[in-house]
Structure 1
Amino acid sequence: MTSKPCPAPLRVAVFSGNYNYVKDGANQALNRLVGRMLARGIEPRVYSAVVSKPAFPPTGTLVGVPSIPIPGRGEYRLALGLPPAQRRDLEAFQPDIVHLSAPDWLGHAAKRWAQASRVPVVASVHTRFETYFDYYGIGFIRRGVERLLKRFYADLAEIYAPSESMAAVLRDEGYSERIHIWSRGVDRHIFRPEARDMAWRDSLGIALGTPVIVFVGRLVLEKGLDIVSAVGEELRRRGVPHHMLVVGDGPARQWFEERMPGASFIGFQTGAALGRAYASSDMFLNPSITETFGNVTLEAMASAVPPVAARATGSSSLVADGISGRLVPPADIGAFADALEAYARDPALRAAHGAESLARAGAYDWDAINDSVLDRYFEILGHGAR
């Protein structure tokens, strides 16, 4: 798609909890959005916590904000609001609109500054933070956190949800009525069925003809690792032929490896290596209920690998149950095992659902998706979509 010109100067201040120091689906989407701003002649400036050795180079201009490690999750950092130096930088930049991507201290400080300065504020919702506490034994604070989140989002000009299912949750729970969809795209040069490599599978010691179930994601409890290990145990109990392939790394890796006998752990992968891992698998398992979109589910679909996912925000907007994959009740070990067993024992079924997944993934074009957000900026500022 050709770049869409911006007819008037527009400056956008973007505030992120993690722009590039740990790679994840949320900051990949945000970097792509900033890249699209640059392509359209919009001037972005990003404010985020930083580290000396980030996971990848930032797109656009990144202004570092002082931060501290999050207790118990030291790989992530918490920005300490908007200190004087960064405030002066923001004021000199004179943004026309402020885009928040996390309800953290930095996001709250930026919101206060923007509203005091009469600058419109929008926010994108990237994850279901309120669900995290259940995984760490402090679910009793969830209601209080939900109240704080509603106050954060309620008076913003607009909120951008990555899927219709997540937008419905935000409306139903009273976050806002001013919600638009900022979906996600997929790089079809990387995620494609042609990346399948049986010689690479052989190098992992996977027996010829054994169906491969792939899990891709950060190895943290909130990704549903307990469900994956329980499903693996149930499949072994049933005698279902399969091999588990785990792509990713994180603080729970040792815990996970101990519960996944015989699985291949290949660590964090990116680019062509990640595309090969997807395409060389036969089905994809995603039990997470914390996603608002599910980039990994879309990547599997673009690789013609049928997903078996929890019926939750994100996946329920991507997967057509029984047509392009399977949606099962969250945490239902038997239902996950049933769906995976059906694919393992019926190559024709998984091929048909994989082909349908591939066809459906074709609708997710990054430029068109990001243009929909940038056009909303102009609508908010009264210029109309450009």
Structure 2
Amino acid sequence: MSSQPNTESRRPSRIYLKVALVTETWPPEVNGVAHTLARLVEGMRGRGHHVQVLRPHQPGNPQVIVVDPAELDAPMDERALPGLPLPGYSGLRLGLPAGRRLKAWWTEDRPDAVYIATEGPLGHSALRVARRLGIPVASGFHTHFDGYARYYGVGWLTPLVRAVLRRFHNRCDVTLAPTQVLATHLAEYGFERVRVMARGVDTRRFSPARRSSRLHKQWRAGGAGPIVLYVGRLAPEKNLDLVVEAFRSLQDRLPDARLVLVGDGPSRVALQRAHPDLIFTGQQVGQALAQHYASADLFLFPSTSETFGNVVIEAMASGLPVLAFDTAAAHEHVLSGVSGARVPYTGDPNTDAAAFVTAAAELAQAPEAWDEMGRYARTRARGLDWVEVVAQFETVCMDILKEARDASPAMDG
């Protein structure tokens, strides 16, 4: 036997990463992107990785938060950079270019990988700095900004916005999309190196066990009908007129049904004036949000602008059947006639709206089937664990770091 020491046994069993995450939205802001990023950071720290979060300054929050590593599984620091309010999006901030600060920080303490979640000015400056320093970069396609143009009367800008997004993402080592369908569409539009990273749901937080009889009774206001729910931003891109139209069709068959809209946004005032019988709860978070989901009976989600739509799987986890277009999360997880109804999406507004309204009316014909559909939805959601999503993200970061080192052996020095 060799007398040489076994150096292999002394090597660490895993590699721990320093990851810089750049985003223009972060809790306590309430939206799907902020929620997803918070879960990724929590999961990566739980796996022993160091995460640095770089985001615009939020009024009322500290400029810099550095967490004591002794208190956590892994260190994290959160740094606020200059930003401005985003017009029309109360509570959200637009990050400003911060190239000098990023270069100074990353030169002094170089991350192994950078993840850019938003394509605003802060994201663009982060990409430029990372490219100059030779740091591998992953980006996320979290929002259909190219598709938003038509909802705000400037649809002619769509090709231009898409070209800007394509140029941005193609300068990254990899772009992460939440579904295979979206990844395929991006590839068709010329986006390169697109990989799928799914989304998860916390089935302990979002659960039928959160149902509140008090809340349900309050919404019914003495009636005996079901509670129909919408959760999301109250804004033009969410197709809210179709929420109301589909509900009215359902209400024709179930007169005591009530529609509850959870969320806030620029469309709220007009909707409340036009439909005073609807219930507007405003924005809900945490346990209150979970109770709102679980205390309803059916979830309507007619948005076609989502890259994923976390609310769909949150509703499923809460035991609700879901009516949605056959896109994004619904395409991946809703099974018509089993856990709700998926409506084919053609891209023709009139055809699609008519089909969605018809599907709502058909569901209203058999409300006694909703409970069983909700149980199937819950079963499906239980398989969507954030642990798997974080593992996918970790693999992506490891892969682009390895590719960068293989391309530049001197980096190992």
TM-score, normalisation: structure 2: 0.85
Aligned equivalents of 2:343, 2:81: Cα separation in 1: 41
- 44, 52, 57: which is aligned to 1:45? 52
Q: Which residue number in structure 1 is paired with residue 73 of structure 2?
A: none
Establish whether residue 361 from structure 1 lines up as the match of residue 381 from structure 2.
yes
Aligned equivalents of 2:402, 2:198: Cα separation in 1: 23
Partner amino acid for 1:192?
A: S
- 189, 194, 198: which is aligned to 2:204? 189
Q: Deviations over 1:235-294 (max 9, x none)?
A: 456665421011112232111212333111111112222112111111101111121111
Aligned equivalents of 2:253, 2:367: Cα separation in 1: 18
Contact 1:212/1:282, CA 8 A, preserved across alignment: yes
- 29, 38, 54: which is aligned to 2:36? 29
Q: Which residue number in structure 2 is paired with residue 227 of structure 1?
A: 242
Larger mean CA deviation between 129-138 and 61-70 belongs to: 61-70
Aligned equivalents of 1:28, 1:54: Cα separation in 2: 17
Unpaired stretches in structure 2, ≥5 consecutive residues: 1-11, 68-75, 406-413
Q: Deviations over 1:209-259 (max 9, x none)?
A: 301110001222212212213333444566654210111122321112123
Partner amino acid for 2:265?
A: G
Contact 1:17/1:49, CA 8 A, preserved across alignment: yes
Aligned equivalents of 2:317, 2:133: Cα separation in 1: 44
SS at match of 1:285: strand
Aligned equivalents of 1:239, 1:26: Cα separation in 2: 35
Q: In angstroms, what is the RMSD of aligned CA positions?
A: 2.4
Give how far 1:142 is off: 0.7
Q: Which residue number in structure 1 is paired with residue 92 of structure 2?
A: 76
Q: Which residue number in structure 2 is paired with residue 94 of structure 1?
A: 110
Aligned equivalents of 1:110, 1:309: Cα separation in 2: 36
Q: Which residue number in structure 2 is paired with residue 249 of structure 1?
A: 264
Give how far 1:68 is off: 1.7
Aligned equivalents of 2:243, 2:13: Cα separation in 1: 46
Contact 2:220/2:227, CA 8 A, preserved across alignment: no
SS at match of 2:245: helix
The alpha-carbon distance between structure 1 residues 292 and 285, as it changes in their structure 2 partners (threshold 3 A), is same
- 131, 143, 153: which is aligned to 1:115? 131
Q: Deviations over 1:337-369 (max 9, x none)?
A: 222233333133222321221111111111121
Contact 1:63/1:86, CA 8 A, preserved across alignment: no
Give how far 1:88 is off: 1.4
Larger mean CA deviation between 210-219 and 375-384 belongs to: 375-384
Partner amino acid for 2:204?
A: H
TM-score, normalisation: structure 1: 0.91
- 301, 304, 314: which is aligned to 2:316? 301
Where does 1:154-169 land on structure 2 (aligned, <5 Å)? 154-169=170-185
Q: Which residue number in structure 2 is paired with residue 174 of structure 1?
A: 190
Partner amino acid for 2:110?
A: Q
Unpaired stretches in structure 1, ≥5 consecutive residues: none
Partner amino acid for 1:162?
A: P
Partner amino acid for 1:373?
A: F
Aligned equivalents of 1:327, 1:147: Cα separation in 2: 31
Contact 1:304/1:355, CA 8 A, preserved across alignment: yes
Q: Which residue number in structure 2 is paired with residue 373 of structure 1?
A: 393
How many pairs align?
378
Partner amino acid for 2:206?
A: F
Give how far 1:74 is off: 4.8
Contact 1:128/1:292, CA 8 A, preserved across alignment: yes
Q: Which residue number in structure 2 is paired with residue 10 of structure 1?
A: 17
The alpha-carbon distance between structure 1 residues 260 and 235, as it changes in their structure 2 partners (threshold 3 A), is farther
Partner amino acid for 1:141?
A: L
Aligned equivalents of 1:89, 1:143: Cα separation in 2: 35
Q: Deviations over 1:306-338 (max 9, x none)?
A: 110122233211212232211114553332222
Q: Which residue number in structure 1 is paired with residue 164 of structure 2?
A: 148
Q: Which residue number in structure 1 is paired with residue 145 of structure 2?
A: 129
Aligned equivalents of 2:339, 2:156: Cα separation in 1: 37
Larger mean CA deviation between 340-349 and 36-45 belongs to: 340-349
Give how far 1:54 is off: 5.5
Contact 1:14/1:100, CA 8 A, preserved across alignment: yes
Aligned equivalents of 2:296, 2:326: Cα separation in 1: 22
Q: Which residue number in structure 1 is paired with residue 280 of structure 2?
A: 265
Establish whether residue 349 from structure 1 lines up as the match of residue 349 from structure 2.
no
Establish whether residue 325 from structure 1 lines up as the match of residue 345 from structure 2.
no
Partner amino acid for 1:360?
A: R
Q: Which residue number in structure 2 is paired with residue 316 of structure 1?
A: 331
Give how far 1:155 is off: 3.4
Contact 2:54/2:80, CA 8 A, preserved across alignment: yes
Aligned equivalents of 1:235, 1:85: Cα separation in 2: 55
Give how far 1:69 is off: 2.1
Partner amino acid for 2:357?
A: A
Give the % identical residues: 32
Q: Which residue number in structure 1 is paired with residue 217 of structure 2?
A: 202
